[in-house]
Chains A and B, each alone.
Chain A
Amino acid sequence: MTQVLLIGLDGATFYLLERYFEDGLMPTLAELVARGARSELRSTPHPFTPPAWTTLSTGVGPGVHGIFDFVRVLPGLERPQYTMATSHDVRAETVWSIASRSGCRVTCLNFPVTFPPRPIDGYLVPGFVPPRHLRRSVHPLDLYDRLRALPGFSAEELLLNLDLERESLQTLPDERYEDWIRLHIRREAQWASIAEMLLEEESCELTAVIFDGVDKLQHLCWRFLDPCVDPRAPAGFAERIEALCREYFAAVDGHIAALIQAAGEDTDVVVCSDHGFGPTDEIFYPNVVLERAGFLGWADGAAIDANGRHTAHGHRNPTVLFDWDRTVACALTSGSNGVYLTVPGAADSVGRESRGYLALREEVAEALLSYVDPSSGEPVVREVLRREDAFPGEHSFLAPDLTLVLRDHGFPSILRAKSPLTRRDQTMGTHAPDGILIGSGPAFQRAHPERVEIAQVAPLVLHLLGVAIPIDLEGRLPAELLDPAWLDAHPPEFGAPSDVPATYFERAATSLGRRGEELVLDRLRALGYVE
């Protein structure tokens, strides 16, 4: 029997949703809020999909679970390299695993960094894998045949099309907006259909599904959704796009209603997002600042961005952008907002950071913080997070050395540009720290606490399932959301520490090797950090 239905709305914000509650567009979600608990959900220090959903599903911060990006940067090499982050890089136990070994069956759909599937008692379809690899990515493997049998099933539409996603976030022409939104309406219908099928046929105690089109639409269409923003669009176009977006949100609300019906009325329903959303009107190019400050050299032929892009075209590793003999610090990926240093000590896992490293890191941070918008004189970088402060834990050494918080919470571009700051032609959407948390069902009371931390969702879900909460989870149970009488009848139990999964990460990888150390020492000498 389904006890908990966890619905993720990637990037959802009350700023927009409350308008849709008021005008009747999302009656199901509005009813859940009216009957139950509602709070803003504070994301991870950098509000980004992979670390945030992983914190939500593990109850620990990125410095413990080790996920900071869609990619995993290999530390300690002569020059940074990265590979796709996978479930094997998650160094903390997930609620899917804790619930499974506590006797609950689990359905987990479309969560990032869940490929390849870890052992669970239940069903898993990972998010963010290429369609051609779906067949071998689901758990159990014969689930694929059940998916294919669903009406309208299309792996190509269900899963990641990286080319299309990158284009949509950067340069999608107006004439393709409508197709993009309709694609997400169809995608969510497919995820809902899979979830409904598994709810009806398997009735796992925990069913969790993410609808990630919310994030995709808000990135592209924020100017049509936020009434405070001028959409700067041809006559009629803004109205058509807004109407289609509303159709999307109404469809998601309908899916939530259908899932609740399939789960049963006594199910506790938790609706949450990994981060919030807001507008962005500019693009910041940190690598241009780093070049001007002498920390970075561009590779021959590194093109100057003239199109407001955040990353290079295609899937290529951006390390080819830089001349590594002249580079000691660079922003390597857009999503992580991270700056990586390539110096000895930068990858040391036990805090043995060299004085040269710490001094260089402070200079890099200062260079970025001191950049000001020429038109206003205001700093563009609001804060620079040191990894040990922002991401405490035994895996903080896997985080970028520095993480940038921009004044609009936007993502930087890693590309070369004529100027460190450009205005966008149009307002886009970008992530913001506060997402949503809604809880409704037998366990919840009507409550509106101001804020709950994203790491608190895992203990909440476990307690709703009647599973003992491992004592090593960082998030505390958000008891303020729960009905006192229910809580009296169901006092939380705390159990043994979580079962940290085995990984194949080898600490030896942090060694630079002799040639690498000589190279970086040469760079440090040139900069005057060592003699």
Chain B
Amino acid sequence: VGTTRQVLDEAAAEAEVIELLGQVIAWELDLQEPVGADTLLIADLGFQSLDVVMLMVAIRGRYQRDDLPFDEILIEGGEYVTDLSVHDLARFIERHGCARVMP
């Protein structure tokens, strides 16, 4: 049985990130607004550093990619970034040609 790969544009990647967050977040959240492009992982969703690691693992699995250089979005000017938005992640996913695997 073959599979096809559908490369994501930025809008599709944003929707995928939001869906992935729904799977990864297994803790209580008290959100005033729904998760959107500007939502921040740490400030808004209560991510801790290991949660970021687990999200990266989920992204690897989702797109069956093991070569994604996450440091591109985690390190800036030799220092670790203090937060990441849904938009940041979506742009990263789009930039690296991640594709949805379709049965």
Contacts and interface: CB of A to CB of B under 8 A. Distances in A.
Interface of A: 72, 74, 77, 81, 83-84, 86, 88-89, 115-116, 129-130, 132-136, 162, 299-300, 314-317, 319-320, 503-506, 508-509
A259 to B, nearest CB: 29
27 contacts: A72-B66, A77-B69, A83-B53, A83-B60, A84-B53, A86-B60, A88-B60, A88-B61, A89-B66, A116-B57, A116-B61, A130-B54, A132-B51, A133-B54, A135-B26, A136-B24, A299-B78, A315-B49, A316-B80, A320-B79, A504-B64, A504-B66, A506-B65, A506-B66, A508-B67, A509-B66, A509-B67
Contacts of B26: 132-136
B49 A86 contact: no
Nearest to A81: B71
Interface string B17-38: 0000001101100000000000
Nearest to A155: B26
Contact of B80 (A77, A81, A133, A320): A320
B50 A162 contact: yes
Interface in B42-82: 48-51, 53-54, 56-57, 60-61, 63-67, 69-71, 74-75, 78-80
Contacts of A86: 57, 60-61
Contacts of A132: 26-27, 48, 51
Contact of A317 (B64, B66, B67, B74): B74
B65 to A, nearest CB: 6
A320 B75 contact: yes
Contacts of B71: 81, 317, 319
B75 A83 contact: no
A497 B63 CA distance: 28
A315 B78 CA distance: 15
A509 B63 CA distance: 14
A74 B50 contact: no
A316 B80 CA distance: 8
Given A116-B57, A133-B26, 16 more contacts: A74-B67, A77-B69, A81-B69, A83-B53, A86-B60, A88-B60, A115-B57, A116-B61, A129-B54, A132-B26, A133-B54, A136-B24, A320-B78, A504-B61, A504-B66, A506-B65
Contact of B70 (A81, A89, A115, A116): A81
Contacts of B57: 83-84, 86, 115-116
A230 B74 CA distance: 45
A81 B24 CA distance: 23
In this complex, which of A74, A136, A504, A508 has the most chain B Cβ atoms within 10 angstroms of its Cβ? A504
B50 A315 contact: yes
A84 B59 CA distance: 12
Interface residues of B, number: 27
Contacts of B79: 320
Contacts of A299: 78
B103 to A, nearest CB: 14
A86 B62 CA distance: 13
Q: Is the interface of A mostly helix, strand, loop or mixed?
A: loop
B2 to A, nearest CB: 14
Nearest to A75: B67
A86 B61 CA distance: 10
B53 A317 contact: no
Contacts of A134: 26
Contacts of A129: 54
Given A162-B50, A314-B49, A506 B80 contact: no
B69 A74 contact: yes
A504 B60 CA distance: 8
Contacts of A84: 53-54, 56-57
Contacts of A116: 57, 61
B52 to A, nearest CB: 8
A395 to B, nearest CB: 12
Contact of B65 (A77, A115, A300, A504): A504
Contacts of A509: 66-67
A135 B75 CA distance: 30
B16 to A, nearest CB: 16
A257 B24 CA distance: 38
A21 B27 CA distance: 44
Contacts of B63: 504
A72 B23 CA distance: 23
Contacts of B64: 504
Nearest to A116: B61
Contacts of B65: 504, 506
A509 B50 CA distance: 25
Nearest to B65: A504
B67 A83 contact: no
B66 A130 contact: no
Nearest to A78: B69
Contacts of B67: 74, 506, 508-509
A74 B69 CA distance: 8
A88 B26 CA distance: 21
Contacts of A74: 66-67, 69
In this complex, which of A133, A135, A320 has the most chain B Cβ atoms within 10 angstroms of its Cβ? A133
A83 B70 contact: yes
